[in-house]
Amino acid sequence: MAIKSQVLADFVAEFSPALLPTLELEVRLRGETKEDGEWILHVDGSSDVRGAGVGIVLTSPMGNTASGTVRCNFKATNNESEYEALIAGLTLAHQMGVENIQVFGDSQLIIKQVQGEYQAKEDSMIQYIAVSQRLIMKFKSCKLTQIPREQNSQADALANLGSALETNSQMIIPLLVLPWPTILEESPSEEVSPVEEVVPKILLWPVSEARSSHAPVSNLPPENLKSISSLWPFRKWGMDIVGKFSMAPRKKVFLLIVTDYFSKWVEAEALSRITDLQIHKFMWTYVITRFGVTHEIVTNNGPQFTSHNFKEF
């Protein structure tokens, strides 16, 4: 973990200082998973004519908080969205290594069904209960408590946001805090307005301008580009083969490359030929033994990547 944190910190400090607070919080949360104490998870689901959403707020024993919203791009009842929230929150906590957790939700039905006090008749509800109970068994201790909606306001707001946003891709929404009204001609202090401070950092580089300085013709993509992101460092890797190059020593003409989507960390090896067994060995040597087992690997449909041996690995 120390190596991962240092690599990520160096990258962020050099290329995006504005992300340092988020990085520091993430590293602290990861470091606190082995601390004594109980984690707190607030969950809520929302369903209306616009769609369904999930809100999650995970708080460490030291008081640090990670929150998120999930858009469900499928039809879901309010009870189903409540279950999706519970499952998403428990999954996140388990992936972070949390062992003791207390879960709060405002749906009495879902809490009582998972605890076995209420019975479910619909097949979908029975399946949701089974998945939730399997996740609960992965923790040393997991307590579920029903609370009034007003005590679950943050998770409720995130769930409503998820149901309102009609999108098929992940996005980052900056939350600005205005310390004074924007109609004031002068701010009470010499501080820069949070709007002025944040907006330049979230603007995208103009693609057409960047390309025109390096190419005589426009190479605009046929459709809008969609970014691929990762929630945690070294969780999702992209892999590809580059070459054939001019022959190097030992007849090496190909380059096998993997890139972490979060930190942009790169591992590469020059090879004379690339088979599924060599990719297997490369992933084990350069990724798994250094950064841990990955959650997802993104590749094209090359035969080395789609072979039975590599899929089994």
Burial level of 184, CB count in 10 A (0-12/13-18/19+)? exposed
pLDDT value for 210: 35
pLDDT value for 224: 62
Burial 120-156 (b: 16+ CB within 10 A, else e): beeeebeebbeebeebbeebeebebebeeeeebeebb
pLDDT value for 26: 54
Burial level of 63, CB count in 10 A (0-12/13-18/19+)? exposed
Burial level of 159, CB count in 10 A (0-12/13-18/19+)? buried
Domains in the chain, please, with CATH? 7-164 (3.30.420.10), 236-312 (3.30.420.10)
Can the peptide bond before residue 244 be classed as cis, meaning omega within 30 degrees of 0? yes
pLDDT value for 109: 93
- What one-letter code names the amino acid at 167? T
pLDDT value for 308: 77
Helix (H) or strand (E) run with residue 42 in it: strand 39-48
pTM exceeding the 0.85 threshold for the entire prediction: no
Can you give the pLDDT of all 313 residues of the chain as single tens digits?
Answer: 444 444 444 544 444 444 445 545 555 555 555 556 899 999 999 988 888 999 999 998 888 888 888 888 888 999 999 999 999 999 988 988 889 999 999 999 999 999 999 999 899 999 999 999 999 999 999 999 999 999 999 999 988 888 887 777 766 666 677 777 777 755 555 555 554 444 444 333 333 333 333 444 455 555 666 666 666 677 788 888 887 777 778 788 888 888 887 777 888 888 888 887 888 888 888 888 877 877 788 887 777 777 777 777 7
pLDDT value for 142: 94
Q: What is the phi/psi pair of residue 238, to 5°?
A: -105, 135
Are 68 and 158 spatial neighbours (Cβ–Cβ below 8 Å)? yes
